[in-house]
Structure 1
Amino acid sequence: MKIKKEVTIYDLAKELNYSPSTISRALNNHKSISKKTIKLIKEAAKEMGYRPNNLAAGLRNNKSNTIGVLISRINRPFMASLISGIEETARKAGYNVLISQSNDMYENEVSNCNALYDSRITGLIVSLSMETVDMAHFQKFLDQGIPIVFVDRVPDNFNSYKVVIDNYTAGYSATKHLIDQGCTRIAHFAGAQHRNIYEERKKGYLDALRESGLPIRDELIIHFKTLSFEEGNKATKKLLKMPEPPDGIFSANDTAAVSAIMCAKKMGVKVPQELAVIGFNDDPIASIMQPSLSTVSHPASKMGAISAKRILNHSGQNYDADLTEITVLGTEIIVRDSSLKKAKILHSTKTS
């Protein structure tokens, strides 16, 4: 099959008997070209199959109408919702979105960051990988006046826009919910503590225990590398084999929480009667699990939309690289069957 030649502005110029510069200005709605001529040229361009070369335009202007997005894992429901919020906001403003994932590895993040920089993006939205500690690979964006918005997993020591939730209050509230349900030995599935979100969720967990007069047991705090399903299954097996197993689990994400429920059921432990579980993110699987998973809502789409707006607000303007602005969004506890120990007891009492 013969590949059809790409139509250029020179082809349009030859066909319409205009100079290439006139064709270019007409396609970009330049005020020096009459509306009638613009319409004629655009109609001809459409008929001939002309496509604008946005990359070439970006190289000429040292920017493009493209927002770069660098996240950990595209297949996580939270990230999918985040991207949706970014893409919808960007599209309405006439911008494209270029997405890259690190798979939670620092080296991938650096490589992808360089590729996005070379693509002449107009701004960058980042949720850091689990491994990232050194932030040097982001400095070149600020040096060139390219705004960066860190969302969810954000750095502590790097000036930028940041969009986060109140992770401390969310962690406190999730743990307090289990305490109110009668749990006294509450385990915590904690993420990497150099990541702000997991550190704050753990602080909330610890303070809820302290304020309720419950002991803090180090053996009930499991630090995960990625909060994967496999890690959750392994940790739950270990916890439930203890002489005094936990009667509640607060997991820093839903993936590990779901695996905890499945593991407990396989081991003959009743959820929530013997083990109450609450997760974090409100992934789609939370509502279809049996029992359904109590969790903490995470306004991912809204976080994405706000992040994109921050970039768009600085498009074509001078960007203050020393500016730090943090947007903090609230969350709520979504109570489902997996944590309702008291409700199950009361229900049993009423029906017995």
Structure 2
Amino acid sequence: MFEPVTIKDIAKALGLSTSTVSRALRDTHEISAATKKIVLAYAKEIGYQPNPIALSLKERRSKSIGVVVSEVANSFFSQAINGIESIAYDRGYHVIISQTHESYEREVVNVQHLASRSVDGLLVSLSSQTEDISHLSYLHDKGLPIVFFDRVADEINTHKVIANNEKGAFEATDHLIKSGYKRIAHLTSSSFLSISIERLSGYEAALMANGLSVNPAYIKHCPHGGMLYEETENAIKELLALPEKPDAIFVAGDRLSTGCLSVFKNLNISVPKDMAIAGFSNSDVLDLFNPSLTSVRQPAFEIGQLATQMLLQLIEAKYPVEEFEKKVLDTDLFVRNS
């Protein structure tokens, strides 16, 4: 079994007291420069690392933050996590990542586990099944710093970082309309999820701005956000079965967008001949798809960075923070041949 080197091991090897070694490692003024040099050199030689549990008890901080996302395989979240880590590690914090796989129950368990591990704060993007946020409200009310990103809970008064979902949805839908499509469907995630509400609003605004009416039959919700192929397939089949089927579709999620293309391929639906598509996606390989996908790209890396900076501000604040911000970052539309 692995046993880490302790201060007692260093003290025994050098013939010093544990208190002397401890003070030398902390660079206190009570210890001579010569003794410090000996202790530090030996500690480096044997690979000594301070005990994080002991440090967290002493400083009342674990120097770790918890991250809750749906899945790291999602292109958006993998890029956001890169942004989170780029800030956290530079500031001396470890990052503990947990996945909900779009399950409310798993989100509750993950959040409770992270809190029990005494993380200094949480970065949270809600699962597509989360309506009840009492598990987060309880921790927030107890003083645990929480920052939401992407999928946020407006009921909790804290910092939030999102993309301009409404603008991105408007631009994608408007692009389809300007390309000659008039019967545009919308495939999205849970109706109560913040990103679903914002993207639906942008979709509807684009239709109305172009003199087109909103057809409720053209709006389909996939509660698992594209995690289940059958769910996406059923939604598309329902659209195709309509008396006046859509000629284009705007998709409101990364998983849903790529899943939609898979369904089209399996159903022998030619894109854009039979149906055009545009959707939110941060995949780096969209140009390799056949057909490639016209996409709304979110600044995921920057969202992760900014959310982490805001969380660390809360963690390291000397006084309670009472004013919070909701940062909205712009999206980009990449037009391809779908």
Is the pair's TM-score, using the shorter chain for normalization, greater than 0.5? Answer: yes
Distance in 1, Cα, partners of 2:327 & 2:53: 32
Match of 2:196 in 1: 198
Match of 2:248 in 1: 248
What's the CA shift for 1:159? 0.6
Equivalences for residues 16-35 of structure 1 within 5 A: 16-35=14-33
Contact persistence 2:122–2:311 (CA under 8 A): yes
Q: 1:183 to 1:29 in 2, by over 3 A?
A: farther
Match of 1:95 in 2: 93
What's the CA shift for 1:218? 1.4
**Counterpart of 1:79 in structure 2: which amino acid?**
F
Q: 1:36 to 1:202 in 2, by over 3 A?
A: farther
Match of 1:308 in 2: 308
Aligned-residue identity in percent: 38
Distance in 2, Cα, partners of 1:139 & 1:20: 43
**1:10-40: per-residue Cα shift (whole Å, max 9, x none)?**
1111222222223223323335444543332
Moved more, 209-218 or 228-237: 228-237
Q: Give the TM-score taking structure 2 as reference length.
A: 0.92
Match of 1:69 in 2: 67
Distance in 1, Cα, partners of 2:86 & 2:218: 42
Match of 1:138 in 2: 136
**Counterpart of 1:164 in structure 2: which amino acid?**
I
Q: 1:157 to 1:262 in 2, by over 3 A?
A: same
Contact persistence 2:257–2:281 (CA under 8 A): no
Match of 2:289 in 1: 289
Q: 1:335 to 1:17 in 2, by over 3 A?
A: same
Task: Tell me whether 1:58 sits opposite 2:56 in the alignment.
Answer: yes
What's the CA shift for 1:209? 0.9
Moved more, 161-170 or 251-260: 251-260
Match of 1:350 in 2: none
**Counterpart of 1:175 in structure 2: which amino acid?**
T
What's the CA shift for 1:4? 5.3
**Counterpart of 2:232 in structure 1: which amino acid?**
G
Distance in 1, Cα, partners of 2:319 & 2:163: 25
Contact persistence 1:184–1:247 (CA under 8 A): yes
Match of 1:345 in 2: none
Contact persistence 1:186–1:248 (CA under 8 A): yes
Q: 1:292 to 1:121 in 2, by over 3 A?
A: same
**Counterpart of 1:303 in structure 2: which amino acid?**
I
What's the CA shift for 1:9? 0.8
Match of 1:258 in 2: 258
Contact persistence 2:187–2:249 (CA under 8 A): yes
Q: 1:320 to 1:258 in 2, by over 3 A?
A: same
Q: Which runs of 5+ in 1 are unaligned?
A: 339-352
Contact persistence 1:232–1:257 (CA under 8 A): no
Distance in 2, Cα, partners of 1:141 & 1:36: 47
Match of 1:273 in 2: 273
Q: 1:270 to 1:104 in 2, by over 3 A?
A: closer
Distance in 2, Cα, partners of 1:176 & 1:297: 16
Q: 1:299 to 1:56 in 2, by over 3 A?
A: same
What's the CA shift for 1:316? 3.4
Match of 1:348 in 2: none
Moved more, 8-17 or 328-337: 8-17
Q: What secondary structure, in the 3-state scheme, does the structure 2 residue paired with 1:150 have?
A: strand
Q: Runs ≥4 in structure 1, deviation > 4 angstroms? A: none
Contact persistence 1:299–1:331 (CA under 8 A): yes
Equivalences for residues 103-182 of structure 1 within 5 A: 103-182=101-180
Contact persistence 1:7–1:51 (CA under 8 A): yes
Moved more, 166-175 or 266-275: 266-275
Distance in 1, Cα, partners of 2:111 & 2:96: 11
Q: 1:104 to 1:254 in 2, by over 3 A?
A: closer
Moved more, 49-58 or 215-224: 49-58
Distance in 1, Cα, partners of 2:191 & 2:44: 54
Moved more, 312-321 or 191-200: 312-321
**1:234-276: per-residue Cα shift (whole Å, max 9, x none)?**
2223322333221110000133223333333444433113311
**1:290-328: per-residue Cα shift (whole Å, max 9, x none)?**
011111011111111111111222343235364321111
What's the CA shift for 1:109? 1.6
What's the CA shift for 1:97? 0.8
**Counterpart of 2:241 in structure 1: which amino acid?**
K
Q: 1:8 to 1:222 in 2, by over 3 A?
A: same
Moved more, 206-215 or 80-89: 206-215
Equivalences for residues 30-49 of structure 1 within 5 A: 30-49=28-47
Give RMSD over aligned pairs. Answer: 2.0
Task: Tell me whether 1:238 sits opposite 2:242 in the alignment.
Answer: no
Q: What secondary structure, in the 3-state scheme, does the structure 2 residue paired with 1:244 have?
A: coil
**Counterpart of 1:217 in structure 2: which amino acid?**
N
Q: What secondary structure, in the 3-state scheme, does the structure 1 residue paired with 2:223 have?
A: coil
Distance in 2, Cα, partners of 1:289 & 1:53: 49
Distance in 2, Cα, partners of 1:306 & 1:94: 16
**1:185-237: per-residue Cα shift (whole Å, max 9, x none)?**
00000211211111010011111111211122111110111221612222223
Q: Which runs of 5+ in 2 are unaligned?
A: none
Distance in 1, Cα, partners of 2:33 & 2:155: 51
**Counterpart of 2:156 in structure 1: which amino acid?**
F
